[in-house]
Chains A and B, each alone.
Chain A
Amino acid sequence: MNIFMVLLRKEIKELLTRQLLFSIAAMILVFYVIGKSVGSHSRASGASNSIVVMDLDRSELSARLLAAMGGGKTPLKPSAFTDIESAMSAPEHSGESSFLVIPAGLARSVEEGRPSRLEFYSRFRKRASGLGAAMAASRIRKVSSLAAAEASSYALERKAPGLPPSFLRDPAPAVEFVVVDGRTEQVPLAQVVGFMQSQSYFFPIAVFFIVILSAQMIMTAIATEKENKTLETLLSSPLDRRMLVVSKLTAAAIIAAGLSGAYLLGMRSFMSGITAAAEGATAAAAGPALAKLGLVITTQGYLLIGLSVLVCILCSLSLAFILGMLAEDVKSIQAMLVPLMMPLMLSYLMPIFIDLSTAGWGIKGLLYAIPFTHAFLAPRAVMTGDIASVVWGIIYQAAVFAVFVTLAARLFSGDALLTLRLRLPGTRRKAAAQ
């Protein structure tokens, strides 16, 4: 058997422990459960959190308002109470959080051109967590807008008979067009932005997890070999030391690739649960327009993104390899991750808040110098057809990887592997050699 395969098989056996498999399975399960729970909780709370309506006007207008509001997805519960305090304290409404009072004389006020109002009351629970309050606010905004439109139609029918209220209300409606690389489609910008964001926040989170996990894995593997002195045995063998470096990196990359698949699966469940509850419908509605604008990822695009992620993982592995060699022992791995975590956090978080296309050269230089940034930006670049920047990113990452691997191989071939220690604050001091 090829000696490289012998080394690789041993590395994989050492890395792929039952504990690791269990933690990955647990992580996928957690993502899945959160995603499903958020989705079902949101649907359940949407159904139960209806609006209690006290119609004190009982007019044609109030009937039309109720019909308009009920036409949405929010269930309305009529109540016989005549004052809000009694309704809110009534046991049958104790689980309700949203109340609407249609005041007596509303229709007459509208007909006579006198201002009136619809009163929405929300019971806010200080200790409540989750999305319940935000969803209630969104429900009231939607329902009040439907009611306002219907009240407006009612007033216009009486004051300007013969003209359709929709025309009078908005005689010159605004239509939004989005232009991408000369291609124009009628679609609201908010929908395009929503879709792009939903695509580009899911992906970096997964990559972030994979990079950290695989880096931690290889650092622990090297520090354990140093601590157990199995490394000293290997170093005294007639093996080419570069082969030791490459076999360790390859094993970690193979495991990381397997883990990426598992994470993506878990994250997909998680995100589909969240987006179904929040903005999935909006994004889906914009789908055909987005496809016409070229803002979708093709199979070749996915392959390019995959390649970018692969070299990103290889970069992090090679850097982690060097950090692992400099670690005093397995306990100091957490602290040794800091030099990797810092650029990783920067490259992950900054593009979320900063538009890199208009950012200053300092920020641009800093972020593009970090190899991980290119993988985080790859999906958006592929979606917008900026293939050149993805390819250059891959080339840059591959160059950084080559530099790190060369450095790792050099360190592996000299005394530094056993004598050099990088001491970060909080790490234990230990004699360099006996």
Chain B
Amino acid sequence: MDALNIRGLVKKYGDFEAVAGLDFSVREGEIFALVGPNGVGKSTTLKMISTILTPTAGSISVFGLDTVAAAHAVRSVISYLPEEAGAYKNLTGREYLDFMAMVFLRDKSRAAEAVAYGAGLSGLGARLDDKIKTYSKGMARKLLLARAVMIKPRLAILDEPTSGLDIVNGYEIRKTIKDLAAGGMTFLISSHNMAEIEFLSGRIGVINKGRLLACDTPAALKSQFGTEDLEEVFVRLTQ
């Protein structure tokens, strides 16, 4: 079964068509990257998959569950990390993980288990007991990624997971994603960093103006365009 199946997806804001008929699917255990210039509908697509926005037309199914008709059930199998998301600054890192674990799992013992796992993943150690407002951007992002995956979702949707991070923090987050995917978790990632995409993803979907322009493995795309540079593929597709 596909982890994600999107057919004829359209999203309109008044007269503006943010997503204009997308079709693609993501296999279970795969890391799929959605790439494209700014403002072409990547975040809107991720929000529709996360059940935060409803499609104007078309359908999305997550592990066979429709995101409109079975939105509540979909929310139980996904975890979404928005681009440049923040956390509750007056909570400590641990309190934030506690809170989110309870919100997603609703069971004290499962939540405690998830928090222990998330605390380890975050790599924040004793700083987890400090208030989030004292964290650097990298620390906050690692906490948020830990939050997103600690509940072991079947599909993790990450919008620009390493945006604005330094090399070390970016590397650690990419490594975590790769390790989790090896353990069977499915990832749908949006990113502008082509090196990151190439390192992480099994397949790439390139979109522009709300439409899918290409969808294949990085190697296949490079071969198709006769280049060794994935960025060149991206530029030639989107210009």
Contact partners of B39 in chain A: CB under 8 A: 431, 434
Interface residues of B in 31-63 (CB under 8 A from A): 38-39, 42-44, 47, 50-54
Is the CB–CB distance between B85 and A433 below 8 Å? no
Is the CB–CB distance between A6 and B99 below 8 Å? yes
Is the CB–CB distance between A229 and B75 below 8 Å? no
Is the CB–CB distance between B84 and A230 below 8 Å? no
Lowest 8 CB-CB distances: which A-B pairs, in order? A228-B86, A236-B80, A229-B82, A229-B85, A236-B50, A238-B75, A232-B82, A6-B102
Interface residues of A in 389-429 (CB under 8 A from B): 414-415, 418-419
Interface-centre pick from A7, A13, A237 (highest chain B CB count, 10 A): A237
With an 8 Å Cβ cutoff, the count of chain B residues facing the other chain is 38
Residue B208 at the chain A interface, CB threshold 8 Å = no
- Given the contacts A6-B99, A415-B54, A419-B13, A434 and B106 also touching, CB distance less than 8 Å: no
CA distance A184 to B205 in the complex (A): 87
Is the CB–CB distance between A229 and B104 below 8 Å? no
Residue B79 at the chain A interface, CB threshold 8 Å = yes
Contact partners of B18 in chain A: CB under 8 A: 433
With an 8 Å Cβ cutoff, the count of chain A residues facing the other chain is 28
- Given the contacts A433-B13, A434-B43, A10 and B54 also touching, CB distance less than 8 Å: no
Smallest Cβ-Cβ distance to A7: which chain B residue = B103
Out of A7, A229, A418, A432, name the residue touching B84 (CB < 8 Å): A229
Is the CB–CB distance between A237 and B103 below 8 Å? yes
Is the CB–CB distance between B72 and A230 below 8 Å? no
Residue A14 at the chain B interface, CB threshold 8 Å = yes
CA distance A229 to B99 in the complex (A): 16
- Given the contacts A228-B85, A228-B87, A235 and B52 also touching, CB distance less than 8 Å: yes
Smallest Cβ-Cβ distance to B92: which chain A residue = A13
18 contacts between A and B (CB under 8 A): A1-B102, A3-B102, A13-B91, A227-B86, A228-B85, A230-B85, A232-B80, A232-B82, A233-B80, A233-B82, A235-B52, A236-B51, A236-B52, A236-B79, A237-B104, A238-B76, A414-B54, A415-B53
CB distance from B77 to the nearest CB of A (A): 9
Interface residues of A in 217-239 (CB under 8 A from B): 227-230, 232-239
Residues of B within 8 A of A (CB): 13, 18, 38-39, 42-44, 47, 50-54, 72, 75-76, 78-88, 90-91, 95, 99-100, 102-104, 106, 108, 147
Is the CB–CB distance between A233 and B100 below 8 Å? yes
Chain A 316-343 interface mask (CB, 8 Å, partner B; 1/0): 0000000000000000000000000000
CA distance A235 to B78 in the complex (A): 12
Is the CB–CB distance between B85 and A233 below 8 Å? yes
- Given the contacts A1-B102, A10-B99, A419-B53, A236 and B78 also touching, CB distance less than 8 Å: yes
Is the CB–CB distance between A232 and B79 below 8 Å? no
Chain A 26-57 interface mask (CB, 8 Å, partner B; 1/0): 00000000000000000000000000000000
- Given the contacts A229-B82, A234-B103, A418 and B90 also touching, CB distance less than 8 Å: no
CB distance from B239 to the nearest CB of A (A): 20
CB distance from B46 to the nearest CB of A (A): 10
CB distance from B100 to the nearest CB of A (A): 7
CB distance from B73 to the nearest CB of A (A): 8
Is the CB–CB distance between A17 and B104 below 8 Å? no
CB distance from B68 to the nearest CB of A (A): 11
CA distance A13 to B98 in the complex (A): 14
Is the CB–CB distance between B85 and A236 below 8 Å? no
CA distance A14 to B83 in the complex (A): 22
CA distance A419 to B13 in the complex (A): 8
CA distance A3 to B80 in the complex (A): 20
Smallest Cβ-Cβ distance to A414: which chain B residue = B54
CA distance A283 to B109 in the complex (A): 63
Is the CB–CB distance between A237 and B82 below 8 Å? no
